[in-house]
């Protein structure tokens, strides 16, 4: 293989990537959480040398999950956040540490720690800014960030969504950032909540919904004239879709009660993406039938999918949001990276292409929770190349597949990928026989 055809991290970093499956809170790095933690320390406590530690940028050399880089030294153990939270470097596992993360330990990271630390508009916005920068530094050019509206004693669900949306608006309207990466928002319904709470999420999604030809959303009727005039409004209508997420071991019996909410979202023009068959318990025929009745365009994870449902996925030409590192590290799949079902679906897509079929089946690699699993999107593209024999043009085709399944921004991404593919062609004209 000539140097021009070798896939390395430099190449996967430079790919114009689309990230469709990324949870906001799970994408916050430990460094960012540490900085938020420091900002909330009582003023009487001294700062630590760890506050000056260097940020673990996604564009830096990537450590293996099996051998993560040691974190900066944490501050003394007596330094605690007012609610009693220790430093994130102590409380949260090393990103990518395969021995400490599984389904039973994953969700408590959020319920017992991260949601408590990031519980008011200011840290929410600090975290969101850092997450956007990390994805941009990793070569992501179109990002759909998903998040579940949360409330606390310091903010309502609406204030949470507004805080995130304002940061996205600031980013998209900044000439430098908005040109480098476009960002949109998905609101998530946690599968364990009540039907009325699901309705609230849909109402927020519709209020903050993105309309290409309508840059500003209407202000709520409850807002006073003084409130409207007292604050320069950043366009905050960036929501393009609705997601179903949460612990796949919970909420199965109530899922049919969410059907009206997802139907309303679909009628309103919102895209639908579903966490689908993550574990055997959430891969039953009855549950999958309910979820498919919502007419989703995209399915997340899709680990335990019966053969009959695989045929439906192919017939509908759905997009599969596949998360290599997440699934392997969290032990949702068996056989390591080489045994991941990405290989099966990639082979299916290639078979369709060679047969001249056009069922529009799509694959989109996603990180899920890069702050926890420690593998940015550029690394998962590299893993796909290493374990499934994908070449450069295959990876460009994979980028194109993901971009074509986005709920917004597809035309711009198509142009960026065309430009990049032309560049690859010029650099390696001898590889034209490999079609992505």
Give tens-digit pLDDT for 374-397.
999 999 999 999 999 999 999 999
Mean pLDDT of all residues belonging to the chain: 85
Measured distance CA(392)–CA(1) in Å, rounded: 12
Measured distance CA(303)–CA(276) in Å, rounded: 8
Q: How confident is the model at residue 103 (pLDDT cuts 50, 70, 90)?
A: confident
The answer to whether position 62 is within a domain reads no
The answer to whether position 71 is within a domain reads no
Higher pLDDT: 201 or 329? It is 201
What is the structure's pLDDT at 70?
45
Using DSSP bridges, classify how beta strands 239-245 and 140-147 pair: parallel, antiparallel or unpaired. unpaired
The answer to whether position 387 is within a domain reads yes
Summarised one tens digit per residue, pLDDT across range 161-206 is: 999 999 999 999 999 999 999 999 999 999 999 999 999 999 999 9
The domain spanning residue 216 has which CATH number? 3.20.20.140
Q: Which two tokens stand for residue 77?
A: 């153990």
Q: What is the mean pLDDT of residues 334-346?
A: 96
What is the structure's pLDDT at 181?
98
Q: Coil, strand or helix: which one is 6?
A: coil
Summarised one tens digit per residue, pLDDT across range 43-98 is: 545 444 344 343 333 333 444 444 444 444 444 443 444 457 889 988 888 875 66
Residue 232 pLDDT more than 60? Answer: no
The answer to whether position 73 is within a domain reads no
Measured distance CA(26)–CA(101) in Å, rounded: 13
Q: How confident is the model at residue 409 (pLDDT cuts 50, 70, 90)?
A: very high
Summarised one tens digit per residue, pLDDT across range 360-377 is: 899 999 999 999 999 999
95-99, 244-248, 316-320: segment of lowest average pLDDT: 95-99
What is the structure's pLDDT at 436?
37
Q: What is the mean pLDDT of residues 404-422?
A: 96
Residue 344 pLDDT more than 60? Answer: yes
Higher pLDDT: 223 or 413? It is 413
The answer to whether position 61 is within a domain reads no
What is the structure's pLDDT at 220?
46
Cα–Cα–Cα angle for 300, 27, 302, rounded to 5 degrees: 10
What is the structure's pLDDT at 233?
64
Q: Which two tokens stand for residue 238?
A: 């960036």
What is the structure's pLDDT at 225?
40
Higher pLDDT: 321 or 428? It is 321
Structural domain count of the chain? 1
Closest Cα partner for 56 from 85, 89, 87?
89
Higher pLDDT: 192 or 357? It is 192
DSSP letters for 337-365: GGGSTHHHHHHHHHHHHHTT-----EEEE
The percent of residues above 70 in pLDDT, for the chain, comes to 81
Q: Whole domain around residue 144: which residue ranges?
A: 8-40+81-221+231-425
The answer to whether position 302 is within a domain reads yes
What is the structure's pLDDT at 79?
42
Measured distance CA(334)–CA(432) in Å, rounded: 35
* Tokens 């309502």 sit on residue: 156
The answer to whether position 68 is within a domain reads no
CB-CB contact of 89 with 30 (8 Å): yes
Closest Cα partner for 280 from 221, 334, 316, 319?
334
What is the structure's pLDDT at 92?
86
The answer to whether position 53 is within a domain reads no
Measured distance CA(38)–CA(401) in Å, rounded: 41
Q: How confident is the model at residue 428 (pLDDT cuts 50, 70, 90)?
A: low
């Amino acid at each position: 293989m000539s140097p021009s055809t070798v896939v390395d991290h430099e190449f996967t970093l430079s790919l114009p990537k689309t990230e469709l499956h990324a949870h906001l809170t799970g994408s916050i790095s430990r460094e960012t959480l540490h900085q938020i933690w420091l900002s909330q320390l009582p003023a009487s406590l001294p700062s630590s040398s760890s506050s000056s530690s260097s940020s673990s940028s996604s564009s830096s050399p990537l450590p293996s999950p099996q051998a993560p880089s040691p974190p900066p030294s944490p501050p003394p153990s007596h330094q605690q956040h007012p609610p009693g939270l220790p430093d994130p470097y102590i409380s949260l596992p090393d990103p990518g540490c395969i021995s400490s993360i599984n389904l039973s330990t994953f969700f408590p990271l959020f319920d017992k720690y991260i949601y408590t630390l990031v519980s008011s508009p200011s840290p929410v916005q600090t975290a969101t800014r850092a997450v956007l920068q990390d994805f941009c530094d990793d070569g992501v050019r179109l990002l759909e960030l998903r998040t579940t509206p949360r409330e606390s004693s310091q903010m309502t669900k609406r204030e949470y969504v507004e805080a995130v949306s304002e940061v996205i608006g600031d980013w998209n309207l900044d000439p430098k950032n908005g040109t480098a990466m476009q960002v949109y928002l998905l609101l998530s319904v946690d599968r364990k909540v009540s039907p009325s709470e699901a309705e609230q999420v849909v109402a927020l999604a519709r209020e903050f919904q993105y309309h290409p030809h309508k840059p500003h959303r209407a202000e709520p009727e409850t807002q006073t004239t003084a409130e409207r005039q007292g604050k320069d409004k950043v366009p905050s209508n960036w929501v393009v879709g609705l997601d179903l997420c949460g612990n796949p071991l919970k909420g199965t019996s109530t899922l049919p009660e969410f059907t009206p909410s997802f139907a309303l979202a679909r009628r309103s023009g919102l895209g639908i993406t579903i966490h689908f068959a993550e574990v055997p318990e959430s891969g039953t025929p009855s549950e999958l039938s309910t979820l498919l009745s919502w007419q989703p365009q995209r399915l997340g994870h899709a680990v335990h999918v019966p053969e009959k449902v695989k045929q439906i996925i192919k017939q509908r030409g759905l997009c599969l949001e596949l998360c290599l590192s997440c699934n392997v590290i969290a032990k949702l799949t068996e056989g390591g990276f080489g045994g991941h079902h990405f290989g099966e679906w990639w082979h299916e897509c290639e078979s369709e292409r060679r047969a001249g079929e056009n069922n529009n089946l799509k694959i989109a690699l996603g990180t899920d929770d890069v702050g926890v699993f420690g593998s940015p999107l550029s690394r998962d593209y590299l893993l796909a190349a290493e374990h499934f024999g994908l070449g450069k043009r295959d990876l460009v085709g994979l980028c194109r597949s993901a971009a074509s399944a986005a709920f917004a921004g597809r035309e711009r991404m198509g142009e960026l990928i065309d430009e990049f593919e032309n560049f690859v062609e010029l650099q390696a004209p001898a590889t034209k026989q490999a079609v992505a």
